[in-house]
Structure 1
Amino acid sequence: MAATLFDTAKGIVEYSYEGNGPTILLFKGGHCTRDTDLSHSSLTYEGYSLLTISRPGYDHTDISTGRSAEEFSQTVIKILDHLKIRKTSVIAVSSAGPTGIALAVHHPERVEKLIMESAVTVPWDIGSKRKAKVLFGPSEKFFWGSIKTLLRVVPDMVIKQMLEELTTENVDHFYDQLSPNDRRFIFDMLTTAQSGKGFSLDINHGVADMSKIQAPVLGMYSHKDNSVPYSQALLLKSTVPSCEIYDVKSDSHLIWIARVPKMCGTND
């Protein structure tokens, strides 16, 4: 998608806006860049317009546009105003959960629906923060450069190591069950990944009071997610006034690649 740079009072924000029809606003998750497509681009073929806004620290979006999820939600409103979008449905992926929640809480008149895809609903714990700072702090370019080099040499090993963080299943068994298309999905996701300064902001985001969300919420989560535990889905369900949880039949955090359910009457 072609990127647009929008100059706000707080700095530059990168976004892309394509398609025709009702607008869906997408906040990608941690380590995702403009080139990372977790299947959301297909929404433009389903009759929707897809507005993808890069969060602070990712792509060309300045961190000054919002060090907190609440602060960035105010910047997002400036973009919606610029594009004359009165109200939109919102998809928040993984680490973008606090951003989607902040927008729904602080600007309820602009959010029609909120879809949380494997999305974070609680602040990060201290142990996870420490690990993230080591891997994705000042050395993040070296880390991702090494990953992408190894992907060209030993892709199976790299993907399995990554899956250790994303699934509660036995990784070897899980990997063996993946289709060629699923493996390509993960490979492409990793080759387009970059943390920039964005992930360092993500791990320090607070979460707004979800009980104040007025829009209906759909949470899509996997019981076998090792990155965002299913308990976060239960918290979302028990806190938001109007919330439905869809249990994705996926064996990992990557709910966009999932087991195809068998038809009634077939054998397991």
Structure 2
Amino acid sequence: MTTTLYDSSRGIVEFTYQGSGPAILLLKGGHSTRDTNLSHSSLVYEGYSLLTISRPGYDYTEVSTGRTPEDFAATIIEVLDHLQIEKTAVIAISAAGPTGVALAAEYPSRVTKLIMEAALTRPLEKEMAILGKLLFGPAEKVFWGSLKTMLKFFPDLVMKQMTAELTTEDAEEYVNRLSPNDRRFIYDMLATSQSGKGFSLDLTHETPDLSKVQVPVLGMYSQKDKTVQYTNAQLLKSNAPNCEIFEVDSDSHLIWIGKHASHVWEKRLEFLSH
């Protein structure tokens, strides 16, 4: 897929834009790179155009484009203007939650709908934030380099270690009952992950006032998500005026895999088309 570098007023932004039809803006979560595909690229085959913008500190998008969700929302509007996209639906994943909220709250005339997929509406738990700073700060290249080498030789071991932070269930049991396709999904996700300077920045983000989001919101969350706990869904529901929460029967943060992944796909399409 061809990536484009756009020189915005705040710095370089990397994006891809493909397909035709109504626009959807995809904001990926923490550690996700241009090569990380959590199944959303298939939206192109459903008749949508998909604009994927790398957030500050990820891929070639410079940190200067937005140290806060509000600042990067303004940069996103520049990209939309450049591409002559008048209105777009927004999908915000995990750590991209605050940016999705900022965009919908500050630019309601440009955002038609907001989908929050296992997305943060409050800061990460303190223990997780401390661990995040330790592993994914200055040492992130060493961490991911070692992990990807281990992944090649001991995939099950690495998947169990990493999913222990994503599920409230026993990680060994969780990995053991994965289907071959779901196992490949996690393997590919880890193999394409890199924190860059982005995740350290994510840890500083505050979510803007949810009550300012007037556009229709769909939140999809799992009760067994250890990373983005279900309290994020409850906070979204109780503050965003026009919000529906779809509780996903998923065993982890990864709501895009598992027995009920098709329900996530169907719910997303239903929300986008109405």
The TM-score, its normalising length taken from structure 2, stands at 0.94
Secondary structure in 2 aligned to 1:109?
A: coil
Aligned pairs (5 A) from 1:204-243: 204-243=204-243
Letter in 2 for 1:30: G
Matched, 1:258 2:240: no
Aligned pairs (5 A) from 1:1-268: 1-260=1-260
Q: CA RMSD in A?
A: 1.0
Query: Which deviations, in whole Å up to 9, do the C-alpha atoms of 1:137-172 show, x marking residues without a partner?
Result: 000000000000000110000000011000011112
Contact 1:221 1:255 in 2 (8 A): yes
Contact 1:226 1:253 in 2 (8 A): yes
Letter in 2 for 1:217: V
Q: CA deviation at 1:123?
A: 2.1
Q: CA deviation at 1:173?
A: 1.6
Letter in 2 for 1:87: K
Contact 2:124 2:228 in 1 (8 A): no
Letter in 2 for 1:252: S
Q: CA deviation at 1:232?
A: 0.8
- In 1: Cα distance, 2:56 partner to 2:9 partner: 14
- In 2: Cα distance, 1:160 partner to 1:124 partner: 21
Moved runs in structure 1, 4+ residues, more than 4 A?
none
- In 2: Cα distance, 1:143 partner to 1:101 partner: 30
Contact 2:248 2:260 in 1 (8 A): no
- In 1: Cα distance, 2:81 partner to 2:54 partner: 17
Structure 2 spans left out of the alignment, 5+ residues:
262-274
Q: CA deviation at 1:125?
A: 4.1
Q: CA deviation at 1:129?
A: 2.4
Contact 1:248 1:258 in 2 (8 A): no
Structure 1 spans left out of the alignment, 5+ residues:
262-268
Q: CA deviation at 1:213?
A: 0.3
Letter in 1 for 2:104: A
- In 1: Cα distance, 2:117 partner to 2:260 partner: 18
Percent identity between the two aligned chains: 63
Secondary structure in 1 aligned to 2:204?
A: coil
Q: Which residue of 1 aligns with 2:266?
A: none
Contact 2:220 2:247 in 1 (8 A): yes
Letter in 2 for 1:34: R
